[in-house]
Amino acid sequence: MNQAKTVLLMTGVMVGFLGACGGGGGDAGSASGDFTTVGRIDGFGSVYVNGTKFDTSHAQYHVDDEQGYDDSVLAVGMKVRIEGTVSQDGTTGIADSITYDDDLEGPIDSGSLVKGDGTASFTILNMAVLAEENGTRFDDGASFDGLVEGQEIEVSGFFDGNRIVASRIELQSDSHDDYEIKGTVASYDGSEIALLLQNGAVAGPYPISASAELDIPADPTGLFVELELVNSGGSPEVIRIESEDSDMIDDDDSDVSLHGILTADGDGNYAVEGVSLELSSDTRYEPASLEGNLDAGMKVEVEGHMQGDILIAKKIEAEDSEIEIEARVSRVQSSDAKNGTVTLDLGNSQTLDLVTNNSTLFEDSSDYDGDDDGSFKLDELMDGDFVEVEIRRSGDQYIALSMEREDESSETKIEAPIEAFSEHVSVTLVGALFAVHGGTSYKLDDDYTDADTFFSEIRVGDRVEVKDRDADGSIEEIEVD
C-alpha cells in the first residue's frame, strides 16, 4: 500500500458495468464474470465480504503465505482479497480464491501506547496503529483493555493516510518470535536493510541473516517489500525479504469492490488502500449527499474497474456510522442468516427497527457464542439479548453497519443527533422521546453543568449521548458529544 498516486479527475468517463454489492437477499442468478473484492470479513456461514455472501466450497485459501483448506483458517475482521464470480445483484458469489496476509506483526513499541476514550494508539516497529474498543475485533486472547507495551500482536486493518486502523488484532503466543513489517526499501547493502513505512517513519536498519531467504533483485532500493524478522537475543534480525504488491488490487482487475478509508492529497485527489480513484459525472454516490462532500478519513466502499493503476469508480458508498446504540433486542425477523429486521427496546414502550443485510458486521462477544467463531446469525439472536449497534440512516430506514452481541446489561445508551428537544422536559433521538428529570446529569465539553446552561447551549442536529440506566425512557445522564 503506497501513498496515494496521482489521480486524474475526469468527467463524462464511461465505466464498465458492475453489479451493486449492497445488502438484500436473493439468489445468485447468473454470474457477472470475474470479480475481485477487498474488504473485511463480516460473518460466516459461507464468507461475507463487502455485502456479498461467497460460497467457499471450492475456494483455495492462502493465509499468511500458507495454504488452508476451509473457512476455519479465517476470522471475522480479517482484511482479505477474494477472486471469483458474483451474481448480477451483487448479493451472492462464488469464491475461487481467498487471500489473507496480516499488515503488521510484532511487539508494541516501548513508550508508544496512548489510550483515550475508546481508542488506543501505538507503534509496532515504528509503524503507527489505531485500535478501537468498539471497531476492532480482538481475537486469540487479545483485548482492548489488555493492550500493553511489549505485547506481541498481529494486526490486520486499513490505512487512513497516517496509520493502520485495526480491523482485527490477534495475540501472538509466547513461543512466537517472528515479526513482519512492510514498506519501501530506503537503504540496502546486503548486510542491512531499512524501510520507509506508510506513515513516513523508518524501520531499521536491521541486520540480515547470512541464511536469509531473499526474493528481491540485487538492488531493491525503492521496491515495496515485506520483511520477516526473528527476535534473536532481543535484537530483530531479518530472515526473509519478499517483494510485495503495494496494494491488493491488480491493474487488470475488471470488476472490483474495494473497502477502506479514504485518503486525500489536498488537491481533490482521492485513494483507498493506496489505489487511486477516478471520479466522474457517472460516479454514483450513496447517500447522494456524499457527492461534493468526500473527506479524508471516511470509511467507504468503492465499486468500479481498473484502468491501469487507477480505479474508475462507478459507485462510492459511505460506511461511517451516524448513530450508536446499546440496547436490548425485543424482536428479530430474518429471511436468511444476515438479512432481516432487528427491533430494539428503547424503553417506555418505544422501539427502533434496524435493517440488517449482507454488509452488516455481526460480532459475538457474549457467553452465547456456542461455536466460538466470534460471530452469529440472525436465527441465533434471541429476544432479550443485549447488543451494541453502529447505524447509518438512509431515508426513513436505519441500517445496521455492525452489531455486537454482549453479555447482560440493564443500561440503554444512545449516541445520535438531536431531532427535537423541549427545555427541562425531553430530547428526541432516533424518533424516540427521552424525558429528563431532577436527577439527570448534564455535561458540556466533558464538564458537568446545570440544566439551564445545557438547554441554552444545545441545538437541533448536535450529537449527544444519553444514558438510561434502568431502560425506562428517562435519562440519567446526557452529554453533548
pLDDT digits (tens, 9 = 90+) for 239-260: 999 998 888 888 888 899 999 9
pTM of the model: 0.81
pLDDT above 60: residue 23: no
3-state DSSP call for residue 290?
helix
Domain boundary among 409, 427, 443: 409
Question: Do 188 and 167 share a domain, yes or no?
Answer: no
Q: Is residue 352 part of a domain?
A: yes
pLDDT in tens, 293-327: 898 999 999 999 999 999 999 999 988 888 999 99
In the chain, % of residues over pLDDT 70: 92
Q: Report CA-CA distances (Å) from 441 to 53, 347, 430.
A: 45, 19, 21
Where residue 166 sits, what CATH number does that domain have? 2.40.50.140
Q: CB under 8 Å to 36, separation ≥6 — which residues? A: 81, 82, 83, 249, 250, 253, 255, 256, 257
Q: How many domains are there within the chain?
A: 4
pLDDT in tens, 106-138: 999 999 999 988 899 999 999 999 999 988 999
Q: Is residue 209 part of a domain?
A: yes
d(C-alpha 137, C-alpha 144), whole Å:
9
pLDDT in tens, 181-234: 999 999 999 999 999 999 999 999 999 999 999 999 999 999 999 999 998 777
Where residue 234 sits, what CATH number does that domain have? 2.40.50.320
CB-based contact 481:457 (threshold 8 Å): no
pLDDT above 80: residue 12: no
Read off the pLDDT of each residue in 257-283 and give the average, rounded to a whole number: 93
Domain boundary among 146, 171, 196: 171
Parallel, antiparallel, or unpaired for β 397-406 and 361-364? parallel
Question: Do 113 and 164 share a domain, yes or no?
Answer: yes
Residue type, 349: S
pLDDT in tens, 227-237: 999 987 778 99
pLDDT in tens, 280-296: 999 999 888 888 889 89
**Which three three-digit cell numbers place residue 40?**
473485511
Residue 317 has phi, psi (to 5 degrees) of -125, 130
**Which three three-digit cell numbers place residue 355?**
435493517
Closest Cα to residue 319, out of 66, 51, 113?
Answer: 51
Alpha helix stretches (DSSP H) within 264-394 = none
Question: Do 400 and 421 share a domain, yes or no?
Answer: no
Residue spans of beta strands (DSSP E) within 144-296: 152-159, 164-171, 178-188, 192-196, 202-215, 224-232, 235-243, 255-264, 270-272, 275-278, 284-286
